[in-house]
Chains A and B, each alone.
Chain A
Amino acid sequence: MSAVTINESSLKEIMKSPETTPLPATAASKPRPVPFLETERGQAFSESIGKLFRGVLPPVLGIALFILLWQIVSASGGENGLPGPASTWEAAKLLFADPFYDNGPNDKGIGWNILHSLYRVGAGFGLAALVGIPLGFMIGRFVFLSGMLAPIISLLRPVSPLAWLPIGLYVFKETEPASLWVIFISSIWPIILNTAAGVSRVPRDYLNVARVLNLSEWKIFTRILFPSVLPHMMTGIRLSIGVAWLVIVAAEMLTGGTGIGFWVWDEWNNLNVEHILIAIFIVGIIGLLLEQLLMIIANRFNYE
């Protein structure tokens, strides 16, 4: 084996000779700590930071820009300009320091006003759901009824909610039921229409299952129709509450007494513009919370 030919057997020999055994790792003799960000936990940490950053940065930046713009607008107005973010914030702190005071019928804390508005939305919407859901089921199930009511619904649905207020005042002679009436009539349409659409869209397969199993009408309703319609119904409810919350502010401006809408109008009469701006934020934030809450409930009933 003087020549340098390497064939399979010689290669085996070389691999076996002591010179070819791998050297003990020199790194082991003096351990070098791995930088935290290169460890598994460190990677996960930096990744979650990155995620948080990407998720939080855009909205924070958007809000900051909005406040900046607001500041610019209010500053450019001079003496009679809109209140700026700082003075509005100060007014809000003062306002929310005592939200539940009660100094007679026209002077109540902001908390009371919000609760009154929410109560009206709840009551008016509740009545709408009570009437709208069964009606929606019937319209979806019976083509004849659907044909009968379709023109009436198409005619009444586009009417501005506040146009119903005089009717309510005339019929009920009082502001409280009149404002409930306005909420009721404006929030009933989405419930009826979405429920009806849901009923007419129950998959044929499910109804075939019902027929093959020969289920009773009650079982068909509780086990097939209702669960199948529920997601559509939840969409209707979400839209309805959205509309109700939009309408209540306007209705209360007109009817007066209590509520966030009345409060806005009252503060306008007092020329307290900070409070009007605060009211806009309150209406927005509560609307957002209602929407989120209903989304959570709706997702609970989504089976797909």
Chain B
Amino acid sequence: MHNYLQIENAKMVFDTKKGKFTALTDINLNVKQGEFIALIGHSGCGKSTLLNLVAGLTEATEGILLLSEKEIKGPGPERGVVFQNHSLLPWLSCFGNVHLAVERVFGAKETKAKLKQRTLAALDLVGLSHAIHKRPNEISGGMKQRVGIARALAMEPKVLLLDEPFGALDALTRAGLQDELMRIVKETQATTLMVTHDVDEAVLLSDRIVMMTNGPAATIGEVLAVDLPRPRDRLKLAENPAYHHLRGQVLEFLYQKHLKKVA
């Protein structure tokens, strides 16, 4: 399989009031089509920065980012982003929020009825058919995040980018959405890059876990292949020694090799 998303020697330097700040350096990562990658690290290690580079929201200071052999220049609808705080527009209904994305990507070549159908299908995929006319402030945090996922998926992106999508949710809602994300990714075969700080989430969902060292000048410390068979069931995994071994490896990386000094 060829490398679908390629990141070569990426470096990110921010200009701050206190001078230059190197957030990321020497980032090299190749992602295959259909692969699920989790980016994990302590807060402030630049994992969101790396995601923003792939999203095109920020431009790398040095290095090359390629998506199916084309350079990433600025954001584009072929990379669907799910933001940490859902970022839904409060004046649009759930339908309106998703439709805005659908209209942009397919509006030029498809009929209105087809656009509507796409929007409804995306909301159906995340199980929100009953709430399409509700405004974001009328639904729960978990539902908002689902709309965010529906908005990203509705664009039929080549790559799905998730920035701590379930970070602000309670444990039960999070588990439910993780299961749903696994189902959706399986259905859509989306190549996925997910930022998380939850070890269980990373092991449960991903094919490979990219573990990052602490910033400043953070880089990829280790990449762990998660060779657990799919479909994965969280209850069965709890008794699986391989799962615990993988989990232990991530924890060891985070808490022994790269423990963040608490200020």
Smallest beta-carbon distance B141→chain A, Å? 15
Question: Is B248 an interface residue, CB under 8 A from the partner?
Answer: no
**Contact A303 B90, CB 8 Å, known A212-B57, A213-B100:** yes
Q: Are B104 and A219 in touch, CB under 8 angstroms?
A: yes
**Contact A208 B87, CB 8 Å, known A219-B104, A223-B92:** yes
Question: Is A40 an interface residue, CB under 8 A from the partner?
Answer: no
Cα–Cα distance between A8 and B100 once the two chains are bound (Å): 71
Q: Are B90 and A214 in touch, CB under 8 angstroms?
A: no
Smallest beta-carbon distance A211→chain B, Å? 5
Question: Is A206 an interface residue, CB under 8 A from the partner?
Answer: yes
Question: Is B135 an interface residue, CB under 8 A from the partner?
Answer: yes
Q: Are A214 and B87 in touch, CB under 8 angstroms?
A: no
Q: Are B76 and A224 in touch, CB under 8 angstroms?
A: no
Cα–Cα distance between A209 and B77 once the two chains are bound (Å): 11
B74's nearest neighbour on chain A, judged by CB, is A211
Q: Are A304 and B90 in touch, CB under 8 angstroms?
A: yes
Query: What is the size category of the interface that chain B forms with chain A?
Result: 20 to 34
Cα–Cα distance between A167 and B214 once the two chains are bound (Å): 66
Which A residues from 11 to 58 make CB contacts under 8 A with B?
A: none
Question: Is B34 an interface residue, CB under 8 A from the partner?
Answer: no
**Contact A304 B55, CB 8 Å, known A205-B85, A223-B89:** no
Question: Is B83 an interface residue, CB under 8 A from the partner?
Answer: yes
Q: Are B104 and A209 in touch, CB under 8 angstroms?
A: no
Q: Are B100 and A223 in touch, CB under 8 angstroms?
A: yes
Residues in A whose Cβ lies below 8 Å from that of B57: 208, 211-212
Q: Which of A205, A224, A227 has the most CB of B within 10 A?
A: A205
Question: Is A215 an interface residue, CB under 8 A from the partner?
Answer: yes
Q: Are A227 and B91 in touch, CB under 8 angstroms?
A: yes
Residues in A whose Cβ lies below 8 Å from that of B56: 211
Q: Are B104 and A213 in touch, CB under 8 angstroms?
A: yes
Cα–Cα distance between A224 and B88 once the two chains are bound (Å): 11
Question: Is B75 an interface residue, CB under 8 A from the partner?
Answer: yes
Question: Is B94 an interface residue, CB under 8 A from the partner?
Answer: no
Smallest beta-carbon distance A202→chain B, Å? 11
Cα–Cα distance between A228 and B88 once the two chains are bound (Å): 12
Q: Are B104 and A206 in touch, CB under 8 angstroms?
A: no
Cβ-defined partner of B137 (8 Å) among A208, A219, A227, A303 = A303
Q: Mark B87-130, 1 if CB is under 8 A from A, else 0.
A: 10111100000001100100000000000000000000000000
11 CB < 8 A contacts A-B: A206-B87, A206-B89, A208-B87, A211-B75, A212-B81, A214-B77, A215-B104, A227-B89, A303-B90, A303-B135, A304-B90
Interface residues of B (CB under 8 A from A): 55-57, 74-77, 79-81, 83, 85, 87, 89-92, 100-101, 104, 135, 137, 155
* 4 additional A-B residue pairs with CB within 8 Å, beyond A227-B89, A303-B137: A208-B81, A208-B87, A213-B155, A214-B76
In order of increasing CB-CB distance, the 9 nearest A-B pairs are A303-B90, A205-B87, A227-B91, A211-B75, A212-B75, A212-B81, A303-B91, A213-B104, A209-B87
Interface residues of A (CB under 8 A from B): 205-206, 208-209, 211-215, 219, 223-224, 227-228, 303-304
